[in-house]
Chains A and B, each alone.
Chain A
Amino acid sequence: MDEEYDAIVLGTGLKECILSGMLSVSGKKVLHIDRNKYYGGESASITPLEDLFAKFNAPPPDETYGRGRDWNVDLIPKFLMANGLLVKLLIHTGVTRYLEFKSVEGSYVYKGGKISKVPVDQKEALASDLMGMFEKRRFRNFLIYVQDFQEEDAKTWKDFDPSTANMQSLYDKFGLDRNTQDFTGHALALYLDDTYLQQPAIQTIRRIKLYSDSLARYGKSPYLYPMYGLGELPQGFARLSAIYGGTYMLDKPIDEIVLGEGGRVIGVKSGNEIAKCKQVYCDPSYVPDRVRKKGQVIRCICLLDHPISNTKDALSTQIIIPQKQVGRHSDIYVSLVSYTHQVAAKGWFIAMVSTTVETNDPESEIKPGLDVLGPVRQKFVSVSDYYEPTDDGSQSQIFISESYDATTHFETTCLDVLKIYKRGTDEDFDFSKVKVELGEEEQ
């Protein structure tokens, strides 16, 4: 450990592992440390099942849960958009070769107490029970507009400037009613709340396109999920970093981040060892004095011995409960994965209900999500603080990631990573750098 590094990365959550991989690939000498003896931090998948029960101080699981080792339970629920940033990162860095994925079977939205499939193309729009006859036609026209829309070709904008006009005015242009706006903004564009309505329409158009491009890749839904759980993702990027020379130490407590002149980081201390470095990259838990609490997220892990009703017995699915449907400001998300992803014993399902906390009684906030599930065998609730950095690293050279938000996919995760990489290295990540060198590995 007593060596000098270009960068020391603290914590092996997904963001830190992607950063570590990107830095190593760019030729930086990286030391990557975690205080835990496992990879993944907050983005780990807990195994065996006994460990999950112990983590939440519950009595150990009985024999109906099968072999504990067959379980890998995520602490943070997210899916990958098939055409999203994380998939691009996985492919360009070659990390995809360590992983296998399955498509999520369905994507549903909650309306008036029941759930319906999210319509994404013209055919589905016309068959959907979410809208009345005339509304369907208007929605269909809206979808065609978005599909034909090309950012670089103003003709396709149809007398509407999406970079200045806001999304509300685009909805109004097509005469879409409140309900349709609701599932478009929340189940297709995947916004957490309604602030997007006042933002330029182009942002929402891009998101809807991401959704439909993702859907076009593999079919049933725009989402992918890795076999053995999300915890495989940080491990994959850690391996990338190691392959490019990164040094890994788990189970290593950090006692101090050592600062030098002008508050600039010069090393990291563990016991009586000091590793010298020019930069530190870390998650908020390693620098409590350089972050502030932005809010709270509630997540409830539910173990089920049955699929969710009205989802055609899907082995994986996502259900979005738009805020307005249940009188809230932010959406409630339900995600479901199961034994088919090697994250649960045969016959078992893991559902996760999550949302941004708005009241003093977060558990009752997620009730609409729990009600969708039917009987739950075991429930684990956690409320976690959501932190953002107060230090941008320009002086200290300490670059801090934000906590994982309540979104159901990894787009914000990747944007944060790319932003931090740019702050730390003063350049955008060069994808081409990796691809060329990886060619040699293939025989």
Chain B
Amino acid sequence: MATNRTGGAQRPNGAPQTKVCQFKLVLLGESAVGKSSLVLRFVKGQFHEYQESTIGAAFLTQTVCLDDTTVKFEIWDTAGQERYHSLAPMYYRGAQAAIVVYDITNQDTFGRAKNWVKELQRQASPSIVIALAGNKSDLAAKRMVEFEEAQAYADENGLLFMETSAKTAMNVNDIFLAIANKLPKSESGGGAGGAGGARRLADGDTPRASSCCK
């Protein structure tokens, strides 16, 4: 369910306010394919050659502006729980979008990416938007997964597909933008908190009902 905060986006010039829709996006893929690097590039515009395994920040937000809508992504990283196949079901819960990442220089990670897609089709909401990202496209000289092979697989399974590079920033914004465009913004996108009246807790909380984009 997309959260619509009417009046959330303030325009200083007095232009008409756009609606803001919030979506949960999860990252999946083998260890070391560059999941966190993609997010870091997208959210902070940074890249670290020797990015450590994910620690500390596993819940980032970033917005993408479309013509009449601001899409706010709530991005969940695996926090390393994929390493021994111990990802909790909660991770998939209510996710409206997913990026499944593999490393174009490593055929195994592509095979594993296909398994993650299957897992999503089994566990996640049926309406989830899935994008496949062939990361490390700057290392094309060591390529082991052909673009055409991945494209054909993506077409067969109705996935968005791009080759990306967190290092050079190639296609990073584009893949998030493509997802934002494909997400349904007119009504409930399925998934999270189907029934109304549920809330998150916070200090000095007052009840906060979530509602859908209208």
A: residues with CB less than 8 A from B are 39, 47, 87, 90-91, 96-102, 217-219, 224, 227-228, 232, 235-236, 238-239, 242-245, 247-252, 340-342, 437, 440-443
Structural contact, B86 and A244, CB atoms closer than 8 A = no
Asked, given contacts A100-B198, A235-B88, whether A248 binds B56 with beta carbons under 8 Å apart, the answer is: no
Which residue of B is nearest A95, CB measured? Answer: B201
Closest 8 CB pairs of A and B: A242-B79, A248-B86, A235-B88, A100-B198, A235-B90, A243-B58, A249-B84, A250-B86
Listed stretches B98-106, B157-165, B179-187, B202-210; interface member: B202-210
Structural contact, B81 and A239, CB atoms closer than 8 A = yes
User: Which listed residue, B54, B84, B202, B203, touches A243 by the CB 8 Å rule?
Assistant: B54
Write out the residue numbers on chain B whose beta carbons fall within 8 Å of the beta carbon of A251: 85
Write out the residue numbers on chain A whose beta carbons fall within 8 Å of the beta carbon of B64: none
Check: B151 CB closer than 8 A to any chain A CB. Answer: no
Which residue of A is nearest B192, CB measured? Answer: A100
Check: B57 CB closer than 8 A to any chain A CB. Answer: yes
Apart from A101-B199, A238-B81, 5 more pairs, CB < 8 Å:
A102-B197, A224-B201, A235-B88, A239-B79, A250-B85
Asked, given contacts A39-B88, A342-B194, A443-B43, whether A248 binds B60 with beta carbons under 8 Å apart, the answer is: no
Q: Name the distance in Å between B101's Cβ and chain A's nearest Cβ.
A: 18
Structural contact, B200 and A248, CB atoms closer than 8 A = no
Q: Name the distance in Å between A250's Cβ and chain B's nearest Cβ.
A: 5
Write out the residue numbers on chain B whose beta carbons fall within 8 Å of the beta carbon of A250: 84-86
Report the bound CA distance from A340 to B198 in whole Å. Answer: 9
9 contacts between A and B (CB under 8 A): A39-B88, A47-B89, A242-B80, A243-B54, A243-B55, A248-B83, A249-B86, A443-B43, A443-B62
Structural contact, A96 and B200, CB atoms closer than 8 A = yes
Asked, given contacts A218-B207, A228-B93, A250-B84, whether A440 binds B79 with beta carbons under 8 Å apart, the answer is: no
User: Which listed residue, A39, A245, A443, touches B60 by the CB 8 Å rule?
Assistant: A443
User: Which listed residue, A91, A244, A442, touches B56 by the CB 8 Å rule?
Assistant: A244
Write out the residue numbers on chain B whose beta carbons fall within 8 Å of the beta carbon of A100: 192-193, 198-200
User: Which listed residue, B62, B83, B88, B193, touches A238 by the CB 8 Å rule?
Assistant: B88
Q: Name the distance in Å between A154's Cβ and chain B's nearest Cβ.
A: 29
Q: Name the distance in Å between B125's Cβ and chain A's nearest Cβ.
A: 11
B: residues with CB less than 8 A from A are 43, 54-62, 79-81, 83-86, 88-91, 93, 192-195, 197-203, 205, 207
Q: Name the distance in Å between A176's Cβ and chain B's nearest Cβ.
A: 34
Which residue of B is nearest A72, CB measured? Answer: B89
Write out the residue numbers on chain B whose beta carbons fall within 8 Å of the beta carbon of A238: 81, 88
Report the bound CA distance from A49 to B46 in whole Å. Answer: 45
Structural contact, B58 and A101, CB atoms closer than 8 A = no
Structural contact, A101 and B200, CB atoms closer than 8 A = yes
Write out the residue numbers on chain B whose beta carbons fall within 8 Å of the beta carbon of A236: 90
Structural contact, A97 and B200, CB atoms closer than 8 A = yes
Q: Name the distance in Å between B80's Cβ and chain A's nearest Cβ.
A: 6
Report the bound CA distance from A219 to B98 in whole Å. Answer: 37
Q: Name the distance in Å between B10's Cβ and chain A's nearest Cβ.
A: 17
Q: Name the distance in Å between B42's Cβ and chain A's nearest Cβ.
A: 11
User: Which listed residue, B81, B83, B198, touches A101 by the CB 8 Å rule?
Assistant: B198
Asked, given contacts A443-B43, A443-B61, whether A239 binds B201 with beta carbons under 8 Å apart, the answer is: no
Q: Name the distance in Å between A21's Cβ and chain B's nearest Cβ.
A: 11
Structural contact, B83 and A247, CB atoms closer than 8 A = yes
Write out the residue numbers on chain A whose beta carbons fall within 8 Å of the beta carbon of B93: 228, 232
Q: Name the distance in Å between B205's Cβ and chain A's nearest Cβ.
A: 7
Report the bound CA distance from A437 to B197 in whole Å. Answer: 30
Write out the residue numbers on chain A whose beta carbons fall within 8 Å of the beta carbon of B83: 247-248
Q: Name the distance in Å between A251's Cβ and chain B's nearest Cβ.
A: 8
Report the bound CA distance from A423 to B79 in whole Å. Answer: 28
Structural contact, B197 and A243, CB atoms closer than 8 A = no
Structural contact, A437 and B56, CB atoms closer than 8 A = yes
Write out the residue numbers on chain B whose beta carbons fall within 8 Å of the beta carbon of A340: 195
Report the bound CA distance from A239 to B61 in whole Å. Answer: 18
Asked, given contacts A218-B207, A235-B89, whether A248 binds B81 with beta carbons under 8 Å apart, the answer is: yes
Q: Name the distance in Å between B74's Cβ and chain A's nearest Cβ.
A: 9
Report the bound CA distance from A244 to B56 in whole Å. Answer: 5
Structural contact, A232 and B198, CB atoms closer than 8 A = no
Structural contact, A441 and B60, CB atoms closer than 8 A = yes
Write out the residue numbers on chain A whose beta carbons fall within 8 Å of the beta carbon of B194: 342
Structural contact, A96 and B88, CB atoms closer than 8 A = no
Q: Name the distance in Å between A409's Cβ and chain B's nearest Cβ.
A: 15
Q: Which of A47, A90, A99, A437 has the most CB of B within 10 A?
A: A99
Asked, given contacts A100-B193, A239-B88, A441-B60, whether A247 binds B80 with beta carbons under 8 Å apart, the answer is: yes
Structural contact, B203 and A244, CB atoms closer than 8 A = no
